[in-house]
A and B are shown apart, each in its own frame.
Chain A
Amino acid sequence: MLNPEDFGKLARALGMTGDEELACDECFEQLERFVEMELDGLDAASAMPLVQDHLDKCGDCREEYQALLDALRAERGWTPVGVIWARMRRFFRRHQGG
């Protein structure tokens, strides 16, 4: 028997499952372009939807993506407040059908 938490995770994962998904290597290959678009203030998720889709589904890749984005923001002189604002903007853009 699945426990309630597992069942919820599985149902949500099936709801998000597409016939075509990038696997980790393909996502990794495109990640540098994806994060640079983000840093330039462009909508990387819309431009590269399969990369965004993989990041939504793969915890390992998502963790690495976030660390890379934070590292590059720091390299470009962003302040911690700027980083938080950027994350919030991204969150709202993605949850408003954008």
Chain B
Amino acid sequence: MKQRTNEEWLAELRGPERDRAIGDLRAVIVRGLKVTFGGRVRGLDETAEDLAQDALIRILDNLDSFRGESRFTTWAQRIAVRVAYTELRRRRWRDVSLQEVIERHEGGRQPDALGDRGSSPERETARKMMVETFQRFIAEELTERQREAMVAVMFEGMPLEEAARRMETNRNALYKLLHDARKKLKRRIEAEGLSAKEVLEALGEG
């Protein structure tokens, strides 16, 4: 494949010779996606070629946003990886509702199983008190939306992007919402004279 500078990539992708440049860029993207996803993407009907085609359209639509801060192909592959993961996550989670995830979490609670059998009664009491305190902070400090996001993303492992789609927001805004939730809880435990370090110590991880 022809080696190109960033300027050459941009000029050729916009110029009369664009078909050749597009073909080369597609090859770069397919190779990159295959490293992570293999030829046929696990859990999807699509191949790396299919995903590359979707990515290519996005890249060509966004050429003006390339700021030249990296190699052009790095920038393009960054977009391709995001397009691929967005599709992959959407497919993997498509049959799962937010409500279902939250209910599953509620149903799976095991308060009595807290702690390990080998720990002392004092430590068990400390842990139990800590959990009850946290539970109260969560109820008092967080909004319903923050609690739902925390359960789905932090506790049940739903991708941020998928939780965001179900909550009719976007991934960036949901990250900020969760960051605000963490900050509120952290301030609250500090205001009560505790620290995250002490909490971890009570868990036996300090």
Interface residues of A (CB under 8 A from B): 1-15, 17, 19, 21, 23-25, 28, 31-33, 35-36, 58-60, 63-64, 66-68, 70-75
| Contact of B111 with A by CB under 8 A | yes
Number of A-B contacts (CB under 8 A): 140
| Contact of B13 with A by CB under 8 A | no
| Contact of B2 with A by CB under 8 A | no
Complex contact A3–B110 (CB within 8 A): yes
A3-B107 Cα distance, complex, nearest whole Å: 11
Chain B nearest Cβ from A3, distance in angstroms: 5
For residue B98, which residues in chain A have a CB less than 8 angstroms away from its CB?
A: none
Complex contact A25–B161 (CB within 8 A): no
Interface of B is mostly: helix
Pick the residue among B69, B134, B171 that contacts A7 (CB under 8 A): B134
Complex contact A13–B70 (CB within 8 A): no
A75-B3 Cα distance, complex, nearest whole Å: 12
Chain B nearest Cβ from A75, distance in angstroms: 6
A11-B28 Cα distance, complex, nearest whole Å: 42
Q: A1-B131, A11-B196, A32-B70 are in contact. Are A23 and B81 (CB under 8 A)?
A: no
Complex contact A67–B171 (CB within 8 A): no
Pick the residue among A2, A11, A19, A28 that contacts B78 (CB under 8 A): A28
